A and B are shown apart, each in its own frame.
Chain A
Amino acid sequence: MGLAKRIIPCLDVDKGRVVKGVQFVDIRDAGDPVEVAKRYNEEGADEITFLDITASHEQRETMVHTVERMAAEVFIPLTVGGGIRSVEDIRTMLNAGADKVSINTAAIHNPEFVREAAERFGRQCIVVAIDAKRVADKPPRWEIFTHGGREPTGIDAVAWARQMAEYGAGEILLTSMDRDGTRDGFDLELTRAITDAVNIPVIASGGVGNLQHLVDGVLQGGADAVLAASIFHFAEHSIQDAKAFMAQQGVEVRL
């Protein structure tokens, strides 16, 4: 027995409410983020990830208050992402009670930002989010996309993951833009390519539609943690169900 694979429910938050975009378009309301996080905490979630999907300047304060409320009631690690662009943004979120911040677009615009952030706050709290889309099949190749998967950057996903780990990322949150919202399961080839390329933990994200997908992410993709939103939000499965199923399939989890 040893380190457990983590199950991370993800809360996409817009204007202070949890929402889930299916491929970033269709939005359904899933409630107050603090209430949702408390439920996940009680059900045995290993961490909570909280993404501000609008990340506009006006919403920033709402977000900080939500993080503060959540940190006073939820005693598991909390990662906050969306619109983290400066050392000041990181400091604000950590002071509000976040344990980690997730950096995405700002890292693409300025990779040195990741180095600076890791040096300032420690790499344990710097998660680099990678949104990757398959651009070739044989051999498979993935590129980084921004703006919810609409804007290509020309950056190779595997090379980018290596660079980010070298710059001080403590963890990678890997989302397949092809799978996100489809419920077809993780892009396992992508997950495996990234987990093999770096020596830091990788969270697989994008496409979970059933509990077997979580198992596949770990056993086939090699992920250290699996992230999902909709299968938990709409009470299709509890976190306990997910963990019991994973344990049965031979994945070490915290029960």
Chain B
Amino acid sequence: MMRHNSVAVIDYGMGNLHSVAKALEHVQPGVEVRVTSDSEQIRSATRVLLPGVGAIRDCMAEIRRLQLDRVVAEVVASGQPMLGVCVGLQALVDHSEENGGVDCLGLLPGRVRFFGDKLRGADQQRLKVPHMGWNEVHQNPHPMWRGIPQDSRFYFVHSYYVQEDDPGLVAGSCTYGVEFTAALARGNVFAVQFHPEKSHTAGLQLLQNFLNWDGSSTSA
């Protein structure tokens, strides 16, 4: 019998955390979801969700001001299953070129880049930025994708993307003018650029998988 399932959704004052909390409660009624910035509550949860919207400079400033950088590093090291979402993915890598250059947490190798104002598609059509809407994610094998058909569409909204430094860590990729990292995974960390809580069936399945995940990248 697994111990009581609880999720700490890390609250650092950036954006609406209601949606992701509601989506977790929807896929597993009875799951305990705590939206919190309290380090003890984060450490004691069975799993941790690192969300994020808005500009990286403000996100990183709040994460550091609330001393959540240390807590997130501890979670990564502890083996607690952790899901990063959107800017929550970007915050985990080394550096972002948004806001004139911002150092991120450096817990996964990679850099955050701007799509650019002159982005073009395969047939040279102009691509709008932000990348907003439903795009296909090509999955590499990982237990977090269980039950989700290959190349399913997820909802994205972002102007910056992660370029990984270690191709072995890419769990999912997406193409919008450039091929970029849609999901990055190492050990107990799985982080996505899209919004599972806004991605209907495929997204809800991913959240369900997160609630069942033991934090290993190979479990059946």
Contact = CB atoms under 8 A, between A and B. Distances in A.
A224 B132 contact: yes
Interface residues of A, number: 35
Interface stretch (A58-66, A71-79, A103-111, A226-234): A71-79
Contact of A1 (B117, B133, B136): B136
B130 A200 contact: yes
A54 interface: no
Interface residues of B, number: 40
Contacts, number: 101
A54 to B, nearest CB: 24
Contacts of B3: none
> How would you classify the secondary structure of chain A's contact residues: helix, strand, loop or mixed?
loop
A114 B210 CA distance: 37
B114 interface: no
Contacts of A94: 15-16
Contacts of A97: 16, 18-19, 22
> How would you classify the secondary structure of chain B's contact residues: helix, strand, loop or mixed?
mixed
A5 B23 CA distance: 24
B18 A95 contact: yes
B115 to A, nearest CB: 10
A201 B126 contact: no
A250 interface: no
A128 interface: no
B16 A124 contact: no
A202 B157 CA distance: 14
A123 B128 CA distance: 14
Interface of A: 1-6, 41, 44, 46, 71-73, 75-77, 94-99, 121-125, 170-171, 199-202, 224-225, 254
Shortest Cβ-Cβ A-B pairs, 9 listed = A122-B54, A254-B134, A4-B134, A124-B157, A94-B16, A254-B153, A72-B22, A3-B135, A201-B128
13 contacts: A1-B151, A4-B134, A75-B198, A97-B16, A98-B16, A121-B54, A124-B53, A124-B132, A124-B157, A170-B130, A170-B157, A199-B129, A224-B132
